[in-house]
Amino acid sequence: MSFLRRQVVTAALTANAIRPLPGFRVGIPAFFAGWITGELAPHLLAVTAADAAAHVPVRRRSRAGLVLAGANAVGLSFLVAQSRQVQTKAEEALVEGLGADYLEQLDAKPTPADLAVPWRKLVYPFRMRNGAVTVKRNLRYADTGRRGLLDVYVPAAGVPEGGAPVLLQVHGGAWMIGNKDQQGIPLMQHLAAKGWVCVAINYRLAPRDPFPAQTIDIKRAIAWIKDNIAEYGGDPDYIAITGGSAGGHLAALTALTSGDKAWQPGFEDVDTSVQVAVPHYGVYDFAGSTGLRSAELMRDKFLAPRILQKRWADAPEDFEAASPLLRITPDAPDFFVLHGAHDSLVPVEQARLFVERLRQTSKRTVVYAELPGAQHAFDVFPSIRSSHIVRAIDRYLHWHWGQYRRERSAG
């Protein structure tokens, strides 16, 4: 491929990352191209600069290609700057939701090094290892083959005295694909290295197992945590739940339906409540109740035939039961909702309406961070954006864990 053509391709990718192609039909390609370009913008910027520098001495160099390379460098620099804005946006969201003094309530305030971009770790973004964390793999929590397995992440140096808080990670993948060791790794490694016990689960997938099999499995995993996590140093009475995309939907729905015994067959009397939920770019409207055209298209073109395997017109109550937005009560747990402003797969309007309903109804805290320039799946591997998000969630969850301990001691 010629230098000019390489720059044309880079220009198309950069333009889509800055302003994704609109529309339901192009959502998947627009997401994938924008996601990779946005999260790897520093790497693409370095490659573009090196490519242009190597082309300058060429005798029959392409002036158009060099001009385009310059424009690409400007665009990619904009994406890098946009990623760095996430630190400020996330902190503003935490202050808005928790109060300006929330940092004063942390056991340890973040240092400048804690907040800086970890450039060294970003050089190899797909190599995610942490020597401070030990992983206990493929523990069985349900009799559903490989889909009934989970991993437990624990600090290699041991958990703090008195028991560690627990994070349950629910992978995404459109309710149809995905595994426990593919998502949420940066967050789990970060928290486990700081003394948390993290649990990542598989669950049954559609279309072989239609919804609500996925939610039933998550509740069964919570039951396993209540019975077994103390063996790994975790506190069974404190569970935070998180996940992205389909995992964000399932995390939010699980957090809001602890009293729904219909989704606990055979273990109806088990307490499956969680203390806090941190859903990322989740689907909150299965029923199309928001009136958003994008939600109605997702319901009719995807969720109905593949996930619930029934038509909306035949069973509207099942779609409504699966919608976190319609399951909010005053007793909802605390929420920290995150969504990308440029999400091509799940438009950000769903998150805005979900947060609005939470703030109107719930008696607990609601934090909402809308991330500028972020696509779907912004947290899958280490990047500038995901690094800032991991540390914002760290601050939030440590604040929440401290509040929980104080309330427990007082009560």
Catalytic residue among 151, 235, 285, 343: 343
Catalytic residue among 280, 339, 342, 376: 376
d(CA 13, CA 124): 21
Active site residue 323: no
Active site residue 318: no
Catalytic residue among 55, 83, 245, 318: 245
d(CA 385, CA 41): 11
Active site residue 289: no
Active site residues: 245, 343, 376
